Amino acid sequence: MNEPDVDAVFAALADATRRHVLTEVDRRGGATATELAADLPVTRQAVAKHLGVLADARLVDAHRSGRELRYRVTPEPLGEAIGWMTRVGGEWDERLARLQRLVAPQARD
């Protein structure tokens, strides 16, 4: 996953309402903006915009169901973002371990 893709995932997930929408789509196994808006304190148009941001980040995809779009969660970008965090965390673990090895002998003196 390249940097702009990771940025899009994190930007999409930064909003509490979008996280709730994503959770609801996943919990329901798919949903339309109308179905989601019926149970949320926001308008259908707001839900549709949130779904658009999630779709741009590839966290959901849509297919036509009659007159509406039905969304489902696509977990691959989350896995890629988790992989990015794991790599960055591993790099920091290595740096901190090196620092500890440098500092530890001095601490005993």
What phi and psi, each to the nearest 5 degrees, are found at residue 40? -120, 155
Token representation of residue 52: 């658009």
pLDDT of residue 32: 97
Residue 67: helix, strand or coil by DSSP?
coil
Residue 44 to residue 19: CA distance in whole angstroms? 16
Instruction: Going from the first residue of the chain to its last (109 residues), give the mean pLDDT of each consecutive group of 10, the final group possibly shorter.
Output: 79 96 97 96 96 96 93 92 82 74 71
Domains and their CATH numbers in the chain:
3-108 (1.10.10.10)
